[in-house]
Structure 1
Amino acid sequence: MPNSAFAQTYRSVRLNGILSQSAMQNRHIGYAPSNDGVVQRGDVDVTRVPQSSNQEQALAHAMYAVSAPHNGAFSVALERAGHGPLDMETRQQTADEIEGALSEQQRGQLQELMEYMNMSRDQALSLVAQSNSAPELTATGRQQASQRMENTFMVTAWADTPSTQATPHETTRSGIAPSQFTSVMVPEQHAHEADAVDQILSAQGHLAGPRMQSVPSVMGIEPHFQRTNGDIHSVTGVPAPDYHTGIAHQALQGAVDVHLVKTEFPRPHDE
């Protein structure tokens, strides 16, 4: 049986399902508490994706479910407690970069500003740069984001109650038993481990629900995360597991609940 941190969490979920904190505590199952780490929950959080009438709507809803600010599934992975904030820096654009991105209308406004304030070109562009500067992920931060999203897997199940909203939204349910799983999606980086666990559990007669489905990492998802100061930032230029395609396929058949499971991995100070 594979013994990595990923495999251990995956095996536990395949055997026990998605359980509340209190249920896991009662069964003596180890778990990483939610961000507050205090409330003993009797239910689990899910993102409910309503049934879609067409493929375009299904894909849009599925993408929102994984990437939206505040309640997108990937925000759970990116904001995971114990690993610290993602590495960011505030980079100020150069005068040439700013000027090259200006429209004709903006160039005219810049010229008016220079004349009104009796400024040089560089002084005016410096003011624009200061107002436009915002924190962004460093190369290290992008690597951290990728690692955090890859060390997850996603479980889906049909909604246990009718969807009350026309768009994806956060809600709760008592839990998801293994027999209720409609899919178990695993990033390709961990597919070999997950498949090995499935094979062993199946041979032992303990595998309920579908076999795992390997998903590739793709560009263009751009999930969001919240910094400790409350600011929302997007992750761009970083591949993320393609969970949304599988969600969209199921949403064409009915309302589906999705739950992202975080798996542990070494932190820099642990290595």
Structure 2
Amino acid sequence: MVEIKTDASVDAMREAGRVVARALAAVEKTAAVGVSLRELDEVAREVLREAGAGSPFLDYHPDWAPVPFPAVICASVNDAIVHGIPTDYRLRDGDLVSIDCGASLDGWVGDSAISFTVGRAREADVHLIETARAALEAGIAAAVVGNRTGDIAHAVGTVCRAAGYGIPQGFGGHGVGRTMHEGPEVPNEGRRGRGMKLRHGMVIAIEPMLIGGGGDGYGSAPDGWTLCTTDGSRAAHVEHTVAVREGGRARVLTAL
């Protein structure tokens, strides 16, 4: 189901998005060599608590997952693409970290993700992250009234493929509203002019996922949640929740 939001509802979602942005900023600021992923999760929990917000991630249990998700962030390191469970793993010099976070506030959800490096960054990792951000920007630019979800998918996929990166098939963006996952689906690769037409008041998460090795292969880790590259190459994941609006660029709801 695709719910068209009123302008007042979008304003309320912006408040949830601000909480997510603050949580991600706090996590990135805390991340350093020797800090555990579980400690990063606690930082995000504290931001949510201070804001009076809940987590749409915590205890989320889709049919394919063996257990409910046990944290408020997904923390995916190096060859992990998405859905990483925060553990006692301590960050090492040169790690590439992707953090996905959501917040529920006054009945509305915000969802966003960032990727960054810890310590001395590899040049290849910097380029991978920069390309992911460029793909996200291209997707947001295509999220205008009258376009279709395929136009967003094409914009994201074109940036990724031009840089020689892989795209995990079957994973991408989605609608956001009173729950974390709503319609429509927003793939990371597709054809222009295909998919659902974008209307004022549609709120979607656009989330490029890039595989550094160039292949599209991925598999599940033993925890049943984390998706990892099959070639062992590194991955990056970035995301914003945006509102499509008449007469201009989509409004980013999960920026600071």
The two structures have a TM-score, normalised by structure 2, of: 0.27
Q: Could you say which structure has the higher helix fraction?
A: 1
Q: Could you say which structure has the higher strand fraction?
A: 2
For the pair shown, the structure with the greater C-alpha radius of gyration is 1
Higher RCO by CA contacts (8 Å cutoff, separation 6 or greater):
1
